[in-house]
Copies of this chain bind each other. A is one copy, B any other.
């Protein structure tokens, strides 16, 4: 990538990936759902500080990006549950690399 001088096409896919995870909430929501499928109220409890309105918006965006799935169960009253998809789980390696690089970065920039 950097050693070959990145091209605009490479940039496009990197931008796609960054947009799918960036912002304050998306990863926190994915982390919460990575344990088990959850209902709206459960997620809201596990992502401290998020408002219902923002959570609802973020869930829609994650669903549109196929990172999570929304399932409606035919019970009374109907139950709605959110779960992480295989595509969402495929973020694992990206997050690992970001995590490790972030650790080095913190050491490099702060710890001198």
> A interface vs B, CB < 8 Å?
1-7, 10-18, 20-22, 27-28, 30-32, 34-35, 64-66, 84, 87-106, 108-109
Contact = CB atoms under 8 A, between A and B. Distances in A.
* Closest 3 pairs between A and B when the two form their complex, measured CB to CB: A13-B102, A17-B102, A6-B31
Contact of A102 (B16, B98, B105): B16
28 contacts: A1-B99, A2-B31, A2-B84, A2-B89, A2-B95, A3-B92, A4-B34, A5-B35, A6-B95, A10-B99, A11-B27, A13-B100, A13-B103, A14-B27, A14-B95, A14-B99, A14-B102, A16-B105, A17-B98, A18-B18, A22-B22, A65-B105, A65-B109, A87-B104, A87-B105, A87-B108, A94-B101, A97-B98
Number of copies: 2
